[in-house]
């Protein structure tokens, strides 16, 4: 019997190892510049929303929540270790946190009113959010563990989608009623509310850039029963408002969020027919689709990746 050449055997072994490596699952390790969390309706024919996390290049998609409730509006902590989100699993919309490895679920609020839009402060110590009491939305701020909640605004108007500046001195938010919203800023204690961007249609979902110089936001148009929109930027002083996507009146590009290095923006768009997650450079160039699901994907956020052992 002819013996197999050791060279051929080595080649076969290397090929097998290469195939095994190719087929190995990709880990959640921050490749592509960190991790992105979002919520998705992909599993139950758009009837049930769950929180997901993935590498910033779209790989290693991982389902963190799995229950019949609606789990919505995630925001990653600045170090990527924890997600704050909204869930109605206990009857009405409340704020919860969960680690990015799926452990340590914790309820932070317990009230009869509806809470929404939670975002971490840049130091990870505070959470800013909105709550609907007496028929309108107001802005609140609490510690990251849910303690010491304080009310920032108390007006008859709606103050929604509030976001703290990186230096935690200023809050940007939208005020108005659908489909017309303007962007305002105020001091972090609620004093000196002042207009930032007042234009026709909807200016909403504002997010400070990592250096505090620019605000990304939605520019939405509601016409003849349909809604279209684009991601826009405005300087922190209200100057140089500009669109960085071009829907051409055919789709919605919205809900922008800055990458950890401030060079890119992740957002959601229904340009493919349903909402999926996309990423682009901060000037709007080189747009790339990250998710490919039958249901809708919404509310992306972006943070660096840190490995955390389950507790």
Instruction: Summarize pLDDT for 149-165 with one digit per residue, the tens.
Output: 999 999 999 999 999 99
Domain containing residue 283: CATH number: 2.120.10.30
Tell me, yes or no, whether 12 lies in a domain: no
User: Average pLDDT for residues 73-86, to the nearest whole number?
Assistant: 97
pTM of structure: 0.90
Residue 89 lies in a domain: yes
Print the domain residue range for 173.
36-303
**Average pLDDT, stretch 72-84?**
97
Give the residue from 66, 105, 63 showing the smallest Cα distance to 85: 105
Assess contact for 180 and 169: CB atoms under 8 A: no
Instruction: Report the distance separating Cα 291 and Cα 279, nearest Å.
Output: 10
The model's pLDDT over 181-232, given as tens digits with 9 standing for 90+, comes to 999 999 999 999 999 999 989 999 999 999 999 999 999 998 888 899 999 9
> How many other C-beta atoms are found inside a 10 Å radius of the C-beta of residue 284?
18
What is the model's pLDDT at position 79? 96
In the chain, how many domains are there?
Answer: 1
Read off the pLDDT band of 136 (50, 70, 90).
Answer: very high
Average pLDDT over residues 48-54: 95
Give a yes or no: residue 64 inside a domain: yes
Spatial CA neighbour of 179 closest among 138, 126, 222? 222
Question: Does some domain include residue 188?
Answer: yes
Closest CA to 100 of 119, 115, 117, 85: 85
Q: What is the pLDDT of residue 287?
A: 98
5 pLDDT higher than 70: no
In a domain, 81, yes or no: yes
Q: How confident is the model at residue 14 (pLDDT cuts 50, 70, 90)?
A: very low
Q: Which of 34-38, 39-43, 86-90, 261-265 has the lowest mean pLDDT?
A: 39-43
């Amino acid at each position: 019997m002819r013996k197999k050449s050791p060279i051929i055997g080595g080649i076969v072994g290397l090929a097998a190892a290469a195939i095994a490596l190719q087929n190995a699952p990709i880990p959640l390790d921050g490749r592509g510049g960190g991790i992105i969390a979002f919520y998705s309706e992909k599993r139950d024919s758009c009837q049930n929303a769950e929180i997901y996390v993935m590498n910033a290049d779209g790989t290693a998609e991982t389902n963190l929540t799995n229950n019949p409730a609606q789990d919505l509006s995630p925001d990653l902590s600045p170090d990527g270790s924890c997600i704050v989100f909204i869930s109605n699993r206990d009857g009405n919309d409340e704020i919860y946190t969960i680690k990015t490895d799926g452990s340590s679920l914790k309820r932070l609020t317990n009230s009869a009113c509806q809470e929404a839009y939670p975002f971490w402060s840049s130091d990870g110590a505070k959470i800013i959010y909105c709550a609907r009491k007496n028929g309108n939305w107001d802005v609140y701020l609490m510690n990251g563990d849910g303690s010491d909640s304080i009310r920032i605004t108390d007006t008859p108007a709606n103050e929604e989608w509030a976001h703290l500046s990186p230096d935690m001195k200023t809050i940007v938010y939208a005020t108005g009623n659908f489909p017309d919203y303007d962007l305002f800023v105020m001091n972090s204690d609620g004093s000196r509310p002042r207009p930032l961007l007042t234009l026709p249609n909807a200016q909403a979902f504002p997010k400070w850039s990592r250096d505090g110089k620019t605000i990304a936001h939605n520019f939405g148009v509601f016409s003849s029963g349909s809604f279209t929109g684009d991601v826009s930027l405005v300087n922190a002083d209200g100057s140089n408002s500009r669109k960085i996507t071009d829907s051409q009146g055919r789709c919605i590009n919205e809900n922008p969020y800055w990458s950890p290095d401030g060079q890119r923006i992740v957002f959601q768009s229904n340009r493919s027919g349903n909402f999926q997650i996309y990423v682009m450079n901060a000037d709007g160039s080189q747009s790339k689709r990250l998710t490919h699901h039958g249901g809708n994907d919404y509310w992306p956020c972006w943070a660096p990746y840190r490995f955390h052992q389950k507790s």
